[in-house]
Structure 1
């Protein structure tokens, strides 16, 4: 609709609409959150939580419409048929770009339960967005460097405790938990520094996935294994807004969480080795899939 506008008009207009949409959704989000804080009955708080999710999904829906209206980006998406909003999912994905998040929100919005991410604690200070994520029960994690852990050993395990607290809350509401298993965005420099055995991926971090599966118990039974690629190369959010991303390719497959994938990752050496082997195999298959996805002509 607006994709034919010259870029000097299209980009400012898209940014303005994104800002207006954010304000128009975040302000009622804060009002409803305040109401939830003072309501004494747990059943009413759950109902108010559903209203918060409805507001958030409206926000994501508008953003998805905006990206479609202002860009000519082609979307090739496989595997999102027959997903359900009554089923909880653990979503694992490779991490290529900041565009990954709005891209995943666009394809999954209203198809699966509202996705929550584990966020760095510093992000709570992002104007408007940080408090909105908090209101929507996004868990904030305080990450510690190796030097900090060596200086203060009592900090070890704090991230796992935070994961368990968040998952305990998630057990009682429809949820999709998002995990970028590499822990950071892919760059060639990071790939080389890690000596990654994969061509297109960094080494996966199995611990976070294992902790979520264990903490959620039977409340979560399926993994959505998502692979995302940008055939035109690494992209930024401004590339997305400016319509410079020609195509986004996403592949989704559902995997059952078998009993063998549940266990004590921290204390059971045999289980930890078995789980790491499962994740490494997942990543080897994903690496081969990326090569196939990238080989298709634009």
Structure 2
């Protein structure tokens, strides 16, 4: 019973925090929409990012308030800088991941901007605030749909380019969950990818981002997340006060020949890129095996 009372309290605090911070962020977004002048837009973007930082800071406080025994194990963040441009790739386990990434990186790199499914645009407070923060909303088309509607081919890349163009004047961290969905044991079995703790990485999304902004990124931040003592339902565990340990392992990868190229027209490069991403994911799976063996 106590756990569910904590769940109600923590959920209410998160909702109130989200509503409180979303309203001014949306206001700055509307100002940018009606006053499309670069100095005004830059100022509004900066202020909106500050409120996102405030949202992340309050969420971090709520996480510790309801999980007093929470232990963090973080490594590899020492070389990051606040004024850089980064592409962040990460495994995806839970809605908790967003809170964790923002908590860990909010004072070390520019506030993370997530690629979001278009359906999230209609979530109260959250959707419009993410729009105001210039987060990219993606409408993915299946292979079967594109066969029937070839005129839609390439629209994902164009959407990514338009979204990333908004980041060129302000240091930004663009986050891509390479697996495309949250990990579950059922999805892992269906994927038949050969990983123990991961799903098959999808190269298209990260390739879109690199095609749009590759020359501007300083490096790629490869993040490995784990909740070793709360593996089944980490989001529920965090809200009920049962989260005990969060592991965040970070590697900084260079923007080199492995990620530079024409993914969409150069087939040898596309194969090389997919092999590189597969190797990154294999190393991530080994790191997760080590975390869960302890």
TM bucket, shorter chain? over 0.9
Segment drifting more, 49-58 vs 101-110? 101-110
- Displacement of 1:137: 0.5
Q: CA deviation at 1:92?
A: 0.6
Deviation at 1:260, TM superposition (A): 4.1
Q: Distance in 2 between matches of 1:264 and 1:8?
A: 51
Deviating 4+ runs (over 6 angstroms): none
- Match of 1:170, SS? coil
Match of 2:66 in 1: 70
Query: Structure 2 regions of 5+ residues with no counterpart?
Result: none
CA gap of 1:260–1:230, structure 2 versus 1, over 3 A, is closer
The structure-2 alpha-carbon separation of the partners of 1:169 and 1:242, relative to structure 1 and needing over 3 Å to count, comes to same
Residue among 272, 286, 294 paired with 1:274: 272
Q: Could you tell me which of 242, 248, 251 is aligned with 1:250?
A: 248
Alignment equivalent of 2:33, drawn from 37, 59, 68: 37
- TM-score normalised by length of structure 2: 0.94
Q: What TM-score does the superposition give when structure 1 sets the normalisation length?
A: 0.92
Q: Which residue of 2 aligns with 1:112?
A: 109
CA distance in 2 between partners of 1:127 and 1:100 (Å): 20
Matches within 5 A, 1:156-171: 156-171=153-168
**Structure 1, gaps ≥5 residues long:** none
Distance 1:268 1:289, change over 3 A: same
State the aligned residue count. Answer: 292
After TM superposition, the structure 1 = structure 2 runs for residues 1-298 of structure 1, keeping only pairs within 5 Å, are: 6-71=2-67, 72-232=69-229, 233-296=231-294
- In structure 2, how many angstroms separate the alpha carbons of the residues matched to 1:58 and 1:130? 17
What's the offset of the Cα at 1:172? 2.0
Q: Deviations over 1:80-118 (max 9, x none)?
A: 223211111111111122221111111111211111111
SS at match of 1:52: helix
Please provide the CA RMSD for this pair.
1.7
